[in-house]
Amino acid sequence: MTADSLLRVSELNLILLGPPGSGKGTQGERLQQDFRLPYYATGDILRAAVRDGTPLGGTAQEFMDRGDLVPDEVIIGVIGERVQSPEAADGFILDGFPRTVGQAEALGIEMDGLERSITAALLIDVDDGEVVRRLGGRRTCVKNGHIFHIEFDPPKNEDVCDVCGARLIVRDDDKPEVIRHRLDTYHDKTKPLVSYYEEQGLLKRVDGMLEPDEVGNRIRALLATLRLEEEL
Ligand code: AP5
């Protein structure tokens, strides 16, 4: 089944879960291209707000720089607006939201209100050592957030984005001491969502330790299986 035919069957409302550096953004970009669905990455939204100097950015910056989560009440409304928007009527991909049980409950209420439901929460599973290796070598496009890695996915020209030619940077929160804190925050606040979605029968695990293409293939296979089950 192709991505096109998958999309035509019914709407796809996906959540990407996983520790920092597990590859949510990398796979999110691919899913967005495959399914042509709006892709809402809360980290990207917040970084853009910081860059643009908006009130949201002003509130978020200190939390992000420390590797802490921004408060639930700040981020819930941001995603609520997008999920309700006409462009998300056929589905959406959420990367980095929800990140606490409170956010997941708010999303559930939002979906009930729209008489829609989450299709799956895809957990991209990687261990802590791999997170540190990946984030230490990540380079991010300053303009559009395209992602590279100096070892695993190097850009053709050092410090220049292959896709749009913008400058590549090391994110402020990819410094070693902040990476450690982000991982602790993940284990403390976000990992409980694994059992939360497991109990709802929505959790799908993907081995994130594999090559990016293989991770992408497994996600596609998983979504195709889900669709077949839905049709039976
Ligand atoms: P956010 O931007 O969401 O950061 P994150 O969840 O920590 O995730 P990352 O973007 O670091 O990693 P990723 O999983 O997308 O991995 P990537 O594909 O880049 O959030 C930043 C901050 O914003 C938070 O700390 C918080 O303060 C705030 N925030 C955001 N959402 C929030 C919310 N809902 N509530 C409260 N606060 C919120 O890959 C990483 C690297 O590995 C890349 O270099 C890539 O090339 C490489 N790579 C990817 N896949 C593979 C692979 N399979 N093999 C080898 N290398 C790979």
Element (H, E) at 151: none
**Rounded Cα–Cα distance for residues 120 and 67 (Å):** 27
- Calculate mean pLDDT across residues 175-189: 94
Angle CA 124–209–95, to nearest 5 = 25
> In testing the pocket of ligand 1, which one of 59, 83, 110, 149 has its CB within 8 Å of the most ligand atoms?
149
What tokens were used for 153?
């996915």
Q: Is 154:48 a contact under the CB 8 Å cutoff?
A: no
Q: Which residues pair with 170 in a beta bridge?
A: none
| CA-nearest residue, atom 42 of ligand 1 | 134
- List 133, 143, 171, 189, catalytic entry: 171
> In testing the pocket of ligand 1, which one of 15, 16, 22, 26 has its CB within 8 Å of the most ligand atoms?
26
Residue range 28-87, pLDDT digits in tens = 999 999 989 999 999 999 999 999 999 999 999 999 999 999 999 999 999 999 999 999
Q: Within 10 A of 158 (CB to CB), how many other CB atoms are there?
A: 10
Q: Is 110:83 a contact under the CB 8 Å cutoff?
A: yes
**Rounded Cα–Cα distance for residues 228 and 165 (Å):** 40
Residue range 128-154, pLDDT digits in tens = 999 999 999 999 999 888 999 999 999
